[in-house]
Amino acid sequence: MLKRAVERNLEIIGEALNRILKQNPEIADQITKSKAIISLRNQVIHAYDNISDENIWAILTKHLPLLKQEINSLISQSN
């Protein structure tokens, strides 16, 4: 259940970023691997059986903290 919840949250992050980039493409320069985040969302939704637990764990431990920093920086810039 926890694994599915994590994957669902990654889907939401990817969809949100996809919508943001459609409205403001310049943000792609400020978000590391923005296209990969959107690709992950598509992979989770459409090719569920192809995603390894190791890949999900690596995303959570290595890439999500950086994304959080970048988002916080964008929020700070907009204030």
CA distance 5 to 65: 18
Contact of 11 with 44, CB cutoff 8 Å: yes
Q: Tell me: the pLDDT tens digits for 49-61?
A: 778 889 999 999 9
What mean pLDDT is predicted for residues 28-32?
94
Confidence of residue 3 (pLDDT cuts 50, 70, 90): confident
CA triple 18-51-7, angle to 5 deg: 55
What mean pLDDT is predicted for residues 30-52?
89
DSSP-assigned letter for residue 30: T
What mean pLDDT is predicted for residues 21-49?
91
